[in-house]
Chains A and B, each alone.
Chain A
Amino acid sequence: MTVTEATAAASVVQAKGLGLTFRTNDGPVQALTDVNLTIGKGEFVSFIGPSGCGKTTFLRVIADLEKPTEGTISVNGLSPEQAREKRAYGYVFQAAALFPWRTIAKNIALPLEIMGVPDTERKGRIERVMELVNLTGFENKYPWQLSGGMQQRASIARALAFDADLLLMDEPFGALDEIVRDHLNKQLLELWARTNKTICFVTHSIPEAVYLSTRIVVMSPRPGRVTDVIESTLPRERPLDIRESPEFLAIAHRVRDGLHAGHSYED
């Protein structure tokens, strides 16, 4: 723990005055305005907000899948493009996006093949990450033979396989039912504790954000912006029933307040 705290100062993501305006046929749309945020090493940061608040866009800017139109952002001290080319992060999408013509093991091998990891090393890495997400024994199954939750776990294993220190997760459990989601949340926390990665996690579930995060970034739409950043006071060790504790409920309450304050639906 002390090691983590000591290195927490080193920033992984640093955004200053970041803005992104999409040019559409209906005129410009401000997806992000004036985002200032620093994410330290080993943090678990959740982005929460209603649809259109730019939380996914921000994640995509970090991943160099979108280019910002204003401000600056650095990832590991580099530009997002340089960071992407150095394979600095693993990205988990809303859907598993596994290739149906590859077995689970082959799907996890995909980034390793592209990055030129030698054959001899691949096998051990695949075994290790499959064990991390509790999928041992399913190596030779095809994605369509697995349940949705198992597919999403396989996609997390794929993002972990090449040992990037930063994990970007875009509503990875959004399409799953509550029971599976609870289970995967718990596993994700354990995984985070074991690997000591920095995780950026987009969600629209308040309990999920509070349960998982060390820091919660509340965002609001039109234009997409950060309205509140909440430091979690919960301990790093979090059993599922921590969600009934008054401390948890207090943080959840503050998140909800933040969402309401920035919300323009009722106006």
Chain B
Amino acid sequence: MRWFTLSWQAVAAIMLCVLAGFLGPMTQAESDALANPTATFAYPFLNSKSLIFDLILGAAAVSMLRIPRLAAAAALAIGAHVAAWMLLTGIAGFEGTALASYYIILAAAWLLAWRCVTVLSTFKPASRVASVALRLVIPLIFGIWILIIWEAIVRGAGIPFILLPPPSVIGVTIANSIPTLAADVNQTIFKSVVAGYVIGCGCGFLTAILADRVSFLRRGLLPIGNMVSALPIIGVAPIMVMWFGFDWQSKAAVVAIMTFFPMLVNTVAGLAEAGHMERDLMRTYASNYTQTLIKLRLPAAAPFIFNALKINSTLALIGAIVAEFFGTPTVGMGFRISTAVGRMDIDMVWAEIAVAALVGSVFYGLIALAERAATFWHPSVRGG
């Protein structure tokens, strides 16, 4: 029996370490110090360089031994992330001085993380808690590595922070301006978006039912609705500001207009979804319009309606933020973005973007959860 199993990521990581050792200095500062051995000045990775190499080589080697998969995954996770942490903290203060070896070592650490995710995804945990945890850990490692690579390249290549700040700086900005961000979220999300979303989706839904009931609306309104939905609706934002004033009401109006048509069109399509046989069945029961609507056609339309709710959750966020560019009280995510850009306060812009992404994901996630609960019977949810 072999006492080790090869994996190409680990082998490649070892080879990259060898290559980096062969190429020598990881930063310009280190290169200068080596060229001038009599001078003493600090350079990055002065003390940690060998430790970084040892970590990556050690984790790569251990992961290929015949040890339990969990132990291999833990070794890989520790090796990859501690090495990455040391790379990121070491380069701070020496931005723009990184040489090829620095990126090669970063790639080696990233390969270990890749191997770690590969090992983790082969697990078939028996308990429910463990399987949920595993489902979260894998995308978490993936997301962390996007941030690590972003941070490492921005700092290593010395990209001006005004063009692209590293995630650590964005994180510090978020932490330092929580009251401002909270006020902006409250203004934009809990006032403009929620009100506009509820009004827009609600009106779209009710109009769809009216159009279904009254054929003159169906024939007249829907073609015009399709045309209006093709208009750049954000263009009406200045008009809404004129009509409803600077506060959240005008933004809610923009959101309502943006979300109305997706809901209308999807609900109309959904109401046509119930099959002929099911409709005939309701007819044989002498079921009236309302009964057929509630017991057959709306449940059958639910997947379409939830689709519209999901599309609208992202549309609403875009609509509210962009509408704030056209006039707003001195609070709100769109207001903050437009004024921060004007003051070259790019960290704040990114902080708002990060918060908007987070809120948007939570919003979408809640609707997706509700969808799973409400359309559990649909083949796309029950999986068959």
- Using a CB–CB cutoff of 8 Å, the interface residues on chain A facing chain B are 63-65, 84-87, 89-91, 93-95, 97, 99-101, 110-111, 113-115, 142, 144, 162
A95-B277, A99-B278 as given contacts; A144 in contact with B295, CB under 8 Å? no
A100-B377, A100-B378 as given contacts; A65 in contact with B278, CB under 8 Å? no
CA distance A97 to B377 in the complex (A): 14
Which B residues are in CB contact (< 8 Å) with A115?
285
Q: Is B275 an interface residue (CB 8 A)?
A: yes
Chain B CB count within 10 A is highest, among A63, A85, A99, A144, for A99
Q: Are B286's CB and A101's CB within 8 A?
A: no
Residue of A nearest to B287 (CB): A114
A97-B275, A110-B295 as given contacts; A65 in contact with B283, CB under 8 Å? yes
CA distance A90 to B284 in the complex (A): 7
Residue of A nearest to B275 (CB): A97
CA distance A125 to B284 in the complex (A): 19
0/1 interface trace, chain B 351-362, chain A, CB 8 Å (1 if under)? 000000000000
Question: Of A84, A90, A97, which is within 8 A of B286 by CB?
Answer: A84
Q: Is B299 an interface residue (CB 8 A)?
A: yes
Give min CB distance, B380 to chain A, whole Å: 12
Contacting residues of chain B (263-289) with chain A, CB-CB under 8 angstroms: 275, 277-278, 280-287
Q: Are A65's CB and B280's CB within 8 A?
A: yes
CA distance A90 to B283 in the complex (A): 11
Q: Are A144's CB and B277's CB within 8 A?
A: no
Question: Of A65, A93, A95, A111, which is within 8 A of B285 by CB?
Answer: A111
Which A residues are in CB contact (< 8 Å) with B143?
none
Q: Are B284's CB and A65's CB within 8 A?
A: yes
Which A residues are in CB contact (< 8 Å) with B282?
114
Q: Are A91's CB and B291's CB within 8 A?
A: no
Residue of B nearest to A81 (CB): B286
Residue of B nearest to A162 (CB): B285
CA distance A101 to B297 in the complex (A): 12
Q: Are A91's CB and B281's CB within 8 A?
A: yes
Q: Is B33 an interface residue (CB 8 A)?
A: no
Which A residues are in CB contact (< 8 Å) with B378?
100
Interface residues on B, range: 20 to 34
Contacting residues of chain B (344-384) with chain A, CB-CB under 8 angstroms: 375-379, 382, 384
Give min CB distance, B293 to chain A, whole Å: 12
A142-B377, A144-B382, A144-B384 as given contacts; A97 in contact with B285, CB under 8 Å? no
Q: Are A113's CB and B295's CB within 8 A?
A: yes
- Using a CB–CB cutoff of 8 Å, the interface residues on chain B facing chain A are 275, 277-278, 280-287, 291, 295-296, 299, 302, 375-379, 382, 384
Residue of A nearest to B292 (CB): A114
25 contacts between A and B (CB under 8 A): A64-B283, A65-B283, A84-B284, A85-B286, A86-B286, A91-B281, A93-B280, A95-B277, A97-B278, A97-B281, A99-B278, A99-B296, A99-B299, A100-B377, A101-B299, A101-B375, A101-B376, A101-B377, A110-B295, A113-B295, A114-B287, A142-B377, A144-B379, A144-B382, A162-B285
CA distance A64 to B286 in the complex (A): 10
Give min CB distance, A107 to chain B, whole Å: 10
Residue of B nearest to A63 (CB): B284
Residue of B nearest to A93 (CB): B277
Residue of B nearest to A97 (CB): B277
CA distance A101 to B381 in the complex (A): 12
Give min CB distance, A8 to chain B, whole Å: 25
CA distance A115 to B296 in the complex (A): 15
Which B residues are in CB contact (< 8 Å) with A63?
284
Which B residues are in CB contact (< 8 Å) with A113?
295
CA distance A209 to B221 in the complex (A): 51
Which B residues are in CB contact (< 8 Å) with A94?
277
CA distance A162 to B286 in the complex (A): 13
Residue of B nearest to A113 (CB): B295
Q: Are A93's CB and B291's CB within 8 A?
A: no
A110-B295, A144-B382 as given contacts; A89 in contact with B284, CB under 8 Å? yes
CA distance A93 to B278 in the complex (A): 9
Give min CB distance, B306 to chain A, whole Å: 13
Give min CB distance, A162 to chain B, whole Å: 8
Q: Are A87's CB and B286's CB within 8 A?
A: yes
Question: Of A84, A95, A144, which is within 8 A of B283 by CB?
Answer: A84
Which B residues are in CB contact (< 8 Å) with A84?
283-284, 286
CA distance A95 to B277 in the complex (A): 8
Nearest first, the 3 A-B pairs at minimum CB distance are A100-B377, A91-B284, A101-B377
Give min CB distance, A66 to chain B, whole Å: 10
CA distance A114 to B296 in the complex (A): 11
CA distance A85 to B377 in the complex (A): 31
A97-B275, A97-B278 as given contacts; A114 in contact with B377, CB under 8 Å? no
Which B residues are in CB contact (< 8 Å) with A142?
377
CA distance A86 to B378 in the complex (A): 34
CA distance A84 to B277 in the complex (A): 16
Q: Are B275's CB and A87's CB within 8 A?
A: no
Q: Are B280's CB and A87's CB within 8 A?
A: no
Which A residues are in CB contact (< 8 Å) with B376?
101
Give min CB distance, B283 to chain A, whole Å: 6
Which A residues are in CB contact (< 8 Å) with B291?
114
Give min CB distance, A57 to chain B, whole Å: 13
Which B residues are in CB contact (< 8 Å) with A110?
285, 295
